[in-house]
Structure 1
Amino acid sequence: MRIRLVEITAANREAVRALRVHPAQERFVASVTKSLQDAAATPEAEPWYRAVQVGAEPVGFVMLSWNVPPGRPGILGPYFLWRLLVDRRYQGRGVGRAVLDRVVELVRADGGTELLTSHQPDEDGPGPFYRKYGFRPTGEIDNGEVVLRLPL
């Protein structure tokens, strides 16, 4: 799957905000609108976000905490995959894996040695996807979510 990570602009903002997961997944991942609000409300997390596109069409959204300096209370990092959303119409086609491949490439290029993420402990959530990719539990719990680490 060939994807591109592109900035969210006035030209694509509404199409990106319209992306939706399956209704059963809504409890596991916040909407793009909520994610953008969280990014604006938490500048100390160094939010970095992009629309995921296949061709010219937005198919997903990704947001990380990007190279957060050590010692910021309540912020996991320095690189933390905060949100990954693939529109329900594009799930099961390798988009999520392609996004992770690209994110890993970018984090490595920036000098990162690990990527963290977290998820709710429900097994019908995204945990199996992340573990299949290579993330492993750290043993930590953050706001009720299992923290995972991917060594780079």
Structure 2
Amino acid sequence: MTTARVRLVEITADNRDAVCALRVHPAQERLVASVAKSLDDAASTPEGEPWYRAVYAGDEPVGFVMLSWNVPPGRPGVIGPYFLWRLLIDAAHQGRGYGRAVLAQVVELVRADGGTELLTSHQQGEGNPGPFYLGLGFEPTGEVDEDEIVLRLVLTG
């Protein structure tokens, strides 16, 4: 399978409304926060060192990604240093490889920044993205954060 081509684009006044209009399938809404909620979370949680981008395929926004970026150790309530906080692919664009392509780019950016692992977490229950992450090489850490299973992708070796 070839990897879909995506670009990670800064969110500006010009594209914010289009990016905030992206939505997952209704059955996934309990599992993934909206872009607007994610941007609010980023603004209200500066200690999480939020880094976020719109995901574009060509000239069209198809998703959103947000990480905690290189968080210094010891910050209470923040998993890090690199934590995939949100990944959303619009319902109309799912199943085209965009999620995998985003993660491939994120992994390369984290590696280039000196990161040795990427952490994420996911809700439990039907339809959760656990199989997606496990298929990309993430492994459970054994930790649970606010009822979410924490996963790790080792970036060395």
Shorter-chain TM-score bucket reads over 0.9
Using the size of structure 1 for normalisation, the TM-score is 0.99
Deviations 1:33-57 (A, max 9, x none): 0000000000000000000001111
The answer on 1:148 being equivalent to 2:151 is yes
Runs of 4+ in 1 over 6 A off after TM superposition: none
CA distance in 2, matches of 1:117, 1:93: 22
Give the structure 1 partner of residue 96 of structure 2: 93
Q: What is the 5 A alignment of 1:34-73?
A: 34-73=37-76
Aligned length, in residue pairs: 152
Q: What is the alpha-carbon distance in structure 2 between the residues aligned to residue 124 and residue 62 of structure 1?
A: 19
- The aligned amino acid for 2:78 is I
What is the root-mean-square deviation in Å for CA atoms of aligned residues?
Answer: 0.5
Structure 2 distance, partners of 1:80, 1:124, is 21
Unaligned runs of 5+ in 2: none
1:25 corresponds, among 2, 24, 28, to: 28
Q: TM-score, normalised by structure 2?
A: 0.96
Deviation digits for residues 7-66 of structure 1, max 9, x if unmatched? 000110000000000000000000000000000000000000000001111000000000
2:116 matches 1:102: no
The Cα of 1:76 is off from its aligned counterpart by 0.2
